[in-house]
Each structure stands twice: as structure tokens, then as C-alpha cells.
Amino acid sequence: MKVSYDPETDSLTITLREERIKESDEIRPGIIVDFGYDGGIVRFEILQASKVVHNAREIQFAVGQ
């Protein structure tokens, strides 16, 4: 999994896996989901991230047991 923030476009991208993208869908205003050829989610993109994500330049990661 990879998370990246682009301050120029103010977009936050969460990549779940490295796969070719078959199609993309804006599921809510400003939230784009990319789907692979198997129909599964490959990544999410949040547009205007600084308006919806507190401190888009910082991330906390937790793994449950």
C-alpha cells in the first residue's frame, strides 16, 4: 500500500496494489476510485485533499492484531 500527497494538485492518492486500471468512477464529489481488470479496487484519489483531510502531509499507520 502506498499513500502520496501532491501539493500542486492538492490530491491524496491511496494505492492498494499495483495493477493496470480498467476504469475509474467518481463515487462522490471529489472521490475517485480506480478499478482493475478483475473488478477490484486499485486506488482511491481524494481531490482538494486539504479541505477534507487534516494535515494531508502527515499519516499514521496502524496494523491490528
What does the pLDDT look like over 9-53, one tens digit per residue?
A: 999 999 999 999 999 999 999 999 999 999 999 999 999 998 988
**Whole-prediction pTM:** 0.84
Residue 14: inside a domain: yes
Residue for cell digits 499495483? 18
Residue 64 is assigned to a structural domain of this protein: no
Q: Which residues pair with 33 in a beta bridge?
A: 25, 44
Give residue 56's pLDDT: 67
The answer to the question of residue 21 being in a domain is yes
User: Residue 48's domain spans which residues?
Assistant: 2-52
Indicate the number of domains in the chain: 1
